[in-house]
């Protein structure tokens, strides 16, 4: 697999409505995480971009839907790429698409970080890439016997005979053991925290032509993501051998234990000491998967077939558990036995006084999941599709002797009680620049008071030249409990599920107007069709975004945008919270956030005649939020940052940024006030090496008790990210 590198800064904008902002300065994963941290993109958009950056889209094999995932590519552009590929046979160089008029120069620069070319004749019998990433901070050296820095090593290799393989090795610095039942303590126990190695991804693939067979880890996604999708893509279309890597923004607390006996749970200072967090990865399926695309049938129609089988050991957050042996219904909050069971950290099996109580921790290897499914799609012509997708699964908890029978709380995304799954039908029709897609699904489960429900998603996209309008409708009833359904939008959560108890419509527009004005606008409106813990039936919500980019000026690019979120249109009082999801506190208590949020931001990008030698940008945002502390007004938040980029020579990219954040401008002792600055150097040899060294300084400026006792208050962070292709 040959990655494509373009060493330049992009001054144009992406014109696909599936992304909130122009992705003009995305070169690597850290750029995506920076956009998410600033609030420019949602976490779901960040997931899509991270997946595309890590795994790429092969221009020679990508389907229409896979090409549409690329920033800046509309459906007519995807059709033009496919038609050029069909006429020529292969795309050897992406610049061919510009010469042929399939896409523009601006679009090519935008998609460059996300595309690859599957070489027909490899330069070597074996080719691939090795990706290594590690991080450290000064907090690591302030703890006694601190563990080594976390790291990830990801390797992909392509071999002759259409074979490929890959694996990823990662570490967790402070992970407890798997929970087991201790009869002498009559409790679930775990071994102390330790440095551990993991193999979250490993796979071997055989891919001759339009056929694919994967053994090991994989992800799947089909249609409108309603029945099953773990790929994180906007328009998934098949089986993927993909990896997902995230670097958390904040340092993590060393000690996550409280007293359970006479022993102090944390060593001196460790309760307030913060260290480099572990890298994060998403658990994939693990087993075997295969697919056949474009299988020719009599009459000129084609068919896509896919099947998958997985057996995987899963982790779970400790407060999502309950003991079915003493609780009949986890929704019974008045029964103390229905709370999450206490979990003890045992240092010495013979000394009870050294036991401590585990808090706020994800437990490894708690249950096994057996899952199988299939997808069939029939295409009478390339413009039409009818498909069916289904899967079934069941969980096997690692139960202890009588007295402990684990299950999941009602607010967990993992269904409890027995088998679960979903069966869906989908269709697509394309009429020129207009595309209509539809998927309906029926879930089934074995939870108390459940049994399954219905979900329907309809999406229409109209893509005339340089414009796009997307209209999507969705309905999920309160019984649609499907942990592998991906929501159309993700503003709400009910009992661990985002695609549940919701009736909504979303409209998005992106287009280039006269006078070089690019407009992005979107409105998402939804109501709760049924009364639940998330709110009363009929509760109306709205989320809207309006952004204007002025791209006609030669050396400056101003932008302005307004973000508005109202979680209850019938409630005009202050004092609510403005979080996007329910908040789970210790135990099983939850409360729903129904407050408002308004955000006004502006950005000025400076592109002087020096071109790549120096570019800069400054951005400021004011946010007004409802807050439980403010009963008569909003809480005011202010953020501002400035950035410089330079490419003084072809093989060196430099970047620096300063960011100021004040989450409450009127109270220095309530929320975060901080300054962050970093400098970054990236060494690049096209098609061979890309290595980034980044140094961050993060200073906490507020006077909260947690800040005054925090160790360290000024954080020094180091990141090394290197990729070698061969």
Q: What pLDDT, on a 0 to 100 scale, did the predictor assign at position 267?
A: 66
Q: Looking at mean pLDDT, say which of 92-106, 162-176, 236-250 comes out highest.
A: 162-176
Question: Exposed, middle or buried: residue 515 (CB in 10 Å: 0-12, 13-18, 19+)?
Answer: exposed
pTM (2 d.p.) = 0.89
Q: How far apart are CA 107 and CA 428, in angstroms?
A: 26
Q: What confidence category does residue 422 fall into, taking pLDDT thresholds of 50, 70 and 90?
A: very high
CA distance 566 to 563: 10
Q: Report the percent of the chain where pLDDT is more than 70.
A: 88
Residue 673 in this model has a pLDDT that exceeds 70: yes
Give which of 421, 417, 469 is closest to 447, Cα–Cα.
417
More confident residue, 157 or 186: 157
User: What are 494-533's pLDDT values in tens digits?
Assistant: 666 778 889 999 999 998 899 889 999 999 999 989 877 6
What pLDDT is stored for residue 454 in this prediction? 96
What one-character-per-residue DSSP string does 658-692 give? EEEEES-TT-TTTS-EEEEEEEEEEEEETTTEEEE
Cβ-based burial of 145 (10 A; exposed 0-12, middle 13-18, buried ≥19): exposed
- Report, as an integer, the average pLDDT of 647-660: 93
Q: Identify the pLDDT of residue 284.
A: 93
- CA-only gyration radius of the chain, Å: 26
pLDDT at 694: 96
Going by their DSSP bridges, the two strands 187-190 and 343-345 should be labelled as parallel
For residue 123, name the pLDDT band (cuts at 50, 70, 90).
low
401 band by pLDDT with thresholds 50, 70 and 90? low
Q: Where are the beta strands (DSSP E) in 432-539?
A: 434-444, 454-462, 467-476, 502-513, 517-527
Give the pLDDT band (50/70/90) at residue 14: very low
Label residue 3 by pLDDT band (50, 70, 90): very low
pLDDT at 411 (0 to 100) = 84
Q: What is the pLDDT of residue 6?
A: 36
pLDDT surpassing 50 at residue 542: yes
> Which among 488, 422, 481, 444 is positioned nearest to 225, based on CA atoms?
488
Q: Does residue 586 surpass a pLDDT of 70?
A: no
pLDDT above 60: residue 261:
no
**DSSP assignments along 304-364, one per residue:** EEEEEEEEEEEEEEGGGEEETTT-S-TT-TT-GGGSPPPEEE-S-TT-GGG-EEE-S-EEE
* pLDDT tens per residue across span 92-118: 888 899 998 888 888 888 888 888 776
pLDDT at 1 over 50: no
pLDDT of residue 444: 95
Confidence of residue 672 (pLDDT cuts 50, 70, 90): very high
Check residue 588 and give its pLDDT.
34
Q: How much helix, strand and coil, in percent to the nearest 5, is found in the chain?
A: 10, 50, 40
**98 phi, psi to nearest 5 deg:** -70, -45
Of 647, 643, 719, 656, nearest to 683 by C-alpha is 647
d(CA 214, CA 308): 9
| Domain parsing of the chain, residue ranges | 1-119
Residue range 229-237: mean pLDDT, rounded: 89
């Amino acid at each position: 697999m040959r990655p494509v590198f373009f060493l330049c800064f992009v001054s144009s904008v992406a014109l696909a409505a599936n992304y909130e902002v122009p992705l003009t300065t995305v070169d690597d994963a850290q750029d995506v995480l920076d956009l998410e941290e600033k609030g420019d993109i949602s976490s779901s958009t960040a997931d899509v971009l991270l997946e595309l950056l890590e795994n790429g889209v092969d221009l020679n094999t990508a389907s229409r839907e896979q090409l549409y995932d690329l920033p800046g590519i509309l459906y007519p552009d995807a059709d033009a790429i496919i038609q050029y590929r069909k006429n020529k046979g292969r795309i050897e160089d992406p610049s061919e698409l510009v010469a042929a008029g399939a896409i523009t120069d601006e679009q090519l620069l935008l998609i460059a970080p996300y595309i690859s070319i599957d070489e027909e004749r490899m330069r070597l019998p074996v080719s691939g890439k090795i990706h290594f990433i590690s991080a450290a901070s000064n907090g690591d050296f302030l703890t006694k016997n601190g563990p080594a820095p976390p790291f990830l090593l990801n390797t992909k290799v392509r071999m002759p005979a259409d074979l490929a393989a890959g694996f990823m090795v990662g570490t967790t610095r402070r992970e407890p053991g798997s929970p087991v039942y201790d009869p002498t303590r009559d409790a679930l126990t775990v071994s102390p925290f330790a440095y551990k190695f993991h193999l979250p991804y490993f796979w071997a693939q055989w891919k001759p032509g339009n056929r694919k067979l994967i053994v090991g880890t994989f992800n799947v996604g089909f249609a409108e993501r309603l029945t099953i999708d773990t790929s994180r893509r906007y328009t998934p279309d098949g089986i993927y051998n993909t990896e997902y890597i995230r670097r958390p923004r904040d340092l993590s607390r060393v000690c996550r234990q409280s007293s359970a006996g006479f022993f102090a749970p944390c060593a001196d200072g460790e309760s307030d000491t913060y260290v480099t967090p572990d890298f994060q990865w998403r658990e994939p399926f693990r087993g075997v998967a295969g697919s056949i695309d474009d299988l020719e049938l009599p009459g000129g129609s084609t068919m896509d077939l896919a099947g998958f089988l997985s057996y995987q050991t899963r982790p779970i957050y400790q407060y999502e558990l309950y003991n079915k042996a003493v609780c009949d219904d986890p929704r019974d909050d008045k029964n103390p036995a229905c709370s999450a069971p206490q979990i003890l950290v045992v240092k010495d099996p013979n000394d009870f006084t050294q036991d401590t109580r585990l808090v706020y921790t994800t437990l490894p290897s708690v249950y096994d999941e057996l899952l199988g499914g299939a997808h069939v799609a029939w295409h009478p012509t390339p413009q039409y599709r009818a498909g069916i997708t289904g899967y079934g699964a069941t969980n096997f908890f690692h139960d202890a002797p009588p007295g402990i029978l684990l299950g999941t709380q009602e607010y967990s995304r993992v269904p409890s009680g027995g088998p679960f799954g979903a069966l869906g039908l989908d269709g697509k029709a394309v009429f020129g620049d207009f595309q209509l897609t539809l998927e309906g699904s029926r879930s089934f489960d074995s939870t108390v008071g459940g049994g399954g429900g219905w979900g329907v998603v309809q999406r229409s996209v109209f893509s005339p030249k340089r414009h796009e309008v997307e209209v999507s409708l969705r309905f999920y009833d309160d019984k649609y409990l499907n942990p592998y359904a991906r929501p159309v939008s993700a503003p709400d959560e009910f009992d661990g599920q985002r695609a549940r108890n919701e009736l909504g419509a979303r409209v998005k527009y992106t287009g280039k107007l006269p006078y070089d004005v690019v407009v992005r606008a979107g409105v998402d409106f939804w109501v709760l069709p049924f009364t639940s813990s998330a709110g009363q039936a009929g509760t109306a919500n709205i989320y809207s975004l309006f952004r204007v980019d002025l791209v006609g000026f030669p050396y400056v690019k101003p932008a302005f945008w307004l973000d508005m979120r109202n979680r209850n249109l019938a409630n005009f009082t202050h004092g609510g919270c403005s979080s996007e999801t329910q908040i789970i506190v210790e135990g099983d208590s939850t409360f729903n956030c129904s407050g408002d949020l308004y955000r006004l931001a502006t950005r000025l990008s400076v592109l002087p005649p020096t071109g790549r030698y120096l570019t800069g940008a400054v951005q400021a945002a004011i946010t007004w939020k409802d807050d439980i502390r403010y009963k008569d007004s909003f809480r005011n938040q202010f953020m501002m940052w400035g950035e410089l980029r330079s490419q003084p020579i072809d093989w060196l990219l430099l970047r620096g940024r300063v960011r100021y954040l004040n989450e409450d401008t009127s109270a220095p002792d309530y929320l975060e006030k901080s300054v962050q600055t970093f400098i970054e150097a990236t060494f690049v040899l096209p098609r061979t090496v890309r290595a980034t060294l980044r140094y961050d300084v993060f200073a906490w400026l507020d006077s909260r008790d947690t800040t005054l006792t925090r160790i360290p208050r000024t954080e020094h962070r180091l990141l090394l990210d290197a990729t070698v292709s061969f």
